Amino acid sequence: MERTQELNVNDHQNIEANLRGQEEMNTTMEIESLFVLQSKNYKRWLRISIYVFFVLACQALSTILGRLYYENGGKSTWMGTLVQLIGFPVLFLFRFFSQIKIPKSTDADFRHFPSFTTLASVYIVIGLLGAAVSYMSSVGLLYLPVSTFSLILASQLAFTAFFSYLLNSQKFTPFIVNSLFLLTISSALLVVNTDSENTTKASRVKYVIGFICTVGASAGIGLLLSLVQLILRKVIKKQTFSTVMDMVAYQSLVASCVVLIGLFASGEWKTLTSEMESYKLGKAPYVMTLASAAISWQVYTIGVVGLIFESSSVFSNSISVVGLPIVPVVAVIVFHDKMNASKIFSIILAIWGFISYVYQHYLDEKKLKTSHTSPVGGPHLPVEEGHTNIQSV
């Protein structure tokens, strides 16, 4: 009888020990899981910070260099367009080094990949649109002061939201509507501000042409970003960084070919030699200005693509917009642009609109994190990296 009781006591102790061990193991696994999740989140925000820096710094630098080309004797709008696109080999180089750390695609990935004809059609369509956007942007930069040009481009956020609503089922919340209204008013303020600020010495007609082309470029940017998001979701159906980078790189390749055709068809290529010789800063600075602008545009593109993948096209464009007020300040220093009351008020409205958009982004991300967490005491559901916002790429 005593022997039986001893066995029961030993069994009970063994069960308690096993339970304690299991609890300790579960606690250890939860801590390790939390640590891994925090580490991934930290790395993601580090990447986002780098991409944000690329967008803010290179957007201002490329715009200033583009205006510097025109200010010192550059006259070719096709050349001004080409430098925005011709640096696309940098994208392939960046993709190559990024791909080294990424496992090779499996056979299943290739089975679900679209055909060559489908991909070629996609690249041609968005390449043509990209060429049109770049050309309109070049014309706008030629005829408008840099500060005005940059502030008008802030409306691209409104166009992105509009096209995302049509193509990607983007929801319009009160904060988004408020942002769209503010950005629209911000651009509209510059329409009547032609006589007092025209430091480019362009006629009123050319100023209007520049304004229309800049608004067209802004709308094209919004459409292009929303199309990329739609194509990745509906056509390619493979949402990786390399896929997005491939799309942008081949789009730039197609757009560069289109612009080169325009450069030779227009006859502007014949004047490039004399343009370089008569450049106010000299031949070497002429080449350096164009080369630096080309590289800056591609680094900016890397930042935009990275933000699209890590968040969404709306967030990527909102970061581009918040960098636009930087350009007018630099333009006042470098090109002595006039900073009157209309421009200052326009900048304030643009920043206000951006803050409204960012706050909506914060609310969406917070809501998404909550939806990916089970009730108290249950396991945490994994959140796929790169899909943390309204409409993920």
Question: For the CA atoms of 157, 159, 162, 168, what is the dihedral angle to 10 degrees?
Answer: -80
Where in the chain does DSSP place strands (E)?
none
Whether 38 maps to a domain, the answer reads: no
291 found inside a domain: yes
The answer as to whether 386 is a domain residue is no
- Give the three-class secondary structure for 107: helix
- Whether 19 maps to a domain, the answer reads no
pLDDT in tens, 4-49: 555 455 555 555 555 565 665 656 555 555 555 566 677 888 888 8
Q: Please check whether residue 299 lies inside any domain of the structure.
A: yes
pLDDT digit string, tens, across residues 207-254:
889 989 999 999 998 888 788 878 878 888 776 777 778 888 899 999
Grouping H, G, I as helix, E, B as strand and the rest as coil, residue 139 is helix
Mean pLDDT, rounded, for 111-118: 75
SS3 392: strand
CA distance 102 to 297: 25
CA 231 to chain centre: 16
* DSSP helix/strand/coil, 312: strand
Report if residue 25 sits inside a domain.
no
How many Å apart are CA 131 and CA 221, to the nearest integer?
11
- CB distance 263 to 79 below 8 Å: yes
Report pLDDT for 116. Answer: 83
- Residue 392 in any domain: the answer is no
Measured over the CA atoms of residue 217, residue 183, residue 165 and residue 356, the dihedral's sign is positive
pLDDT in tens, 54-105: 988 888 889 899 989 998 889 899 999 999 999 888 888 888 777 655 444 4
41 is a domain residue: no
Task: Report the SS3 class of residue 380.
Answer: strand
**Domain assignment of residue 252, given as a range:** 54-102+110-371
Q: Which of 133-142, 164-173, 177-186 shows the highest mean pLDDT? A: 133-142
How many whole angstroms separate alpha carbon 353 and alpha carbon 232? 28
Q: Which two tokens stand for residue 347?
A: 């900048």
Does 361 score more than 50 pLDDT?
Answer: yes
Residue 380 phi/psi, 5-degree rounding, is -85, 130
Count: domains in the chain: 1
